[in-house]
Amino acid sequence: MNFHNTLIKWYLQNKRDLPWRKTADPYQIWLSEIMLQQTRVAQGMPYFFAFTEEFPTVFDLANASEEQVLKLWQGLGYYSRARNLHKTAKYVAEDLNGSFPPSYKELLNLKGVGEYTAAAIASFSYNEAVPVVDGNVFRVLSRYFDIESDIAIPVTKKEFTKLAYELMPKDNPAIFNQAIMEFGALQCVPKSPNCPACVFNDSCLALQKKKVDSLPVKSKKVKVTNRFFNYLVLEDILGNTIVQKRTAKGIWHNLYEFPLFESSEIIDFNSISEIVQNDMFSSYTILGIEECSEATVIHKLSHQHLHIQFWKIKINKVLENGIDLKTLKSFPFPIVLYNFIEKQEINC
């Protein structure tokens, strides 16, 4: 029995029941693929249901405001995906009359759609014979065929794409793509795969050569930057506060936050007191300053570790455009800030 037959047989017996596998609708498949970029299925599933309920068609998504989209996306991370999702929905609805491009090459022109996502939509919606190549596929093929090419190098992706295409049954590329991704997600996992139970244990070269743990080869490491955020939570005599939109490029673009002072290291009460009274809020009469959490919150992103402190600053006046706690929760925030608000630590 050849590779793809064995793989597809395994898939049909072991596949998960996922909602986006029950449709060929390019809108729903596009939604799911964008959401699952660098995101676990279990984490992305509730968001898929929320988006398809709130925005059942690409026109509904296009007609929403960016803030509505960001709010519904809140907690999923990598917010540029949500902004690109909204822009692409507008383009498809307004320029393409609601119809997604019907081919891999045309799909690549959509904002936020790369080679992997375009291949997924093209094969799942239009049955185009284009292989998907992601971390799961790299892992399965590198182990089975004992390929030591460095997957951090762009040319390696071409090598794996060519191999996957050769293995793919051209009359049913969708099921092959689903199968190889599922096999990597459930069976050929990164750490401690259950090789004795694997359907390929008699033909996997990495298993025969005791190289399973060393494949795939990936040399490039992401450099992690440490940043130190001090959020200044103003509270006026009515208990209201203020927030601002992050308009600069970078993390959390167009999400909301409290006034921020970014320092080069963790700072103490005396330092923040001087910054508040002599610089950022010198026009206010400060009644008191206190730290809102016992320990610094460390929020880890793929390339940055954020060390976050929340400071409550009470002032002796009514804030112009002050926001109460209930209204505050309606704004799209980074999840670490929303969790702070949700716990009502704003009233620390």
**Tokens 């507008």, located at residue:** 90
303 and 169 in one domain?
A: no
Residue in 133, 183, 128 with CA at minimum distance from that of residue 158: 133
| 200 and 307 belong to one structural domain | no
- Rounded to the nearest integer, the mean pLDDT of the chain is 93
Question: Which DSSP string corresponds to 135-200?
Answer: HHHHHHHHHHTT---BTTSHHHHHHHHHHHHHHS-TT-HHHHHHHHHHHHHHTS-SSS--GGG-TT
Residue 321 lies in a domain: yes
Distance of CA 136 to the CA centre of its chain: 17
The pair of structure tokens assigned to 169 is: 């049954």
Q: Which of 133, 132, 33 is nearest to 81 (CA)?
A: 33
On the question of pLDDT at 347 being above 60, the answer is no
Q: Is the model's pLDDT at 75 over the cut of 70?
A: yes
- Asked whether residue 38 carries a pLDDT value surpassing 60, the answer given is yes
33 among known catalytic residues: yes
Residues 20 and 159 in one domain: yes
Task: Find the mean pLDDT for residues 56-76.
Answer: 97
Phi/psi of residue 252, nearest 5 degrees = 60, 30
Q: Structural domain of residue 51, as residue ranges?
A: 3-214
Two structure tokens written together for 7: 């793989």
Q: By the 8 A CB rule, do 227 and 304 touch?
A: yes
Question: Same domain for 325 and 180?
Answer: no
pLDDT for the residue 283: 83
d(CA 303, CA 323): 32
327 and 251 fall within a common domain = yes
pLDDT value of position 115: 95
| Residue of 33, 128, 182, 235 marked active site | 33
Domain total in the chain: 2
Output the furthest CA–CA distance in the chain (Å, rounded): 79
Q: Any idea what the CATH number is for the domain that residue 103 is in?
A: 1.10.340.30
Burial of residue 175 (number of CB atoms within 10 Å: 0-12, 13-18, 19+) = buried
Query: Is there a single domain that holds both residue 181 and residue 268?
Result: no
Residues 103 and 65 in one domain: yes
Name the percent of the chain lying above pLDDT 70: 98
Both 50 and 132 in one domain: the answer is: yes
CB 25 within 8 Å of CB 48: no
**C-alpha span between 311 and 309 (Å, rounded):** 7
Q: Assess whether 180 and 56 both reside in one domain.
A: yes
Q: Is the pLDDT of residue 74 over 90?
A: yes
pLDDT at 344: 65
pLDDT digits (tens, 9 = 90+) for 87-129: 999 999 999 999 999 999 999 999 999 999 999 999 999 999 9
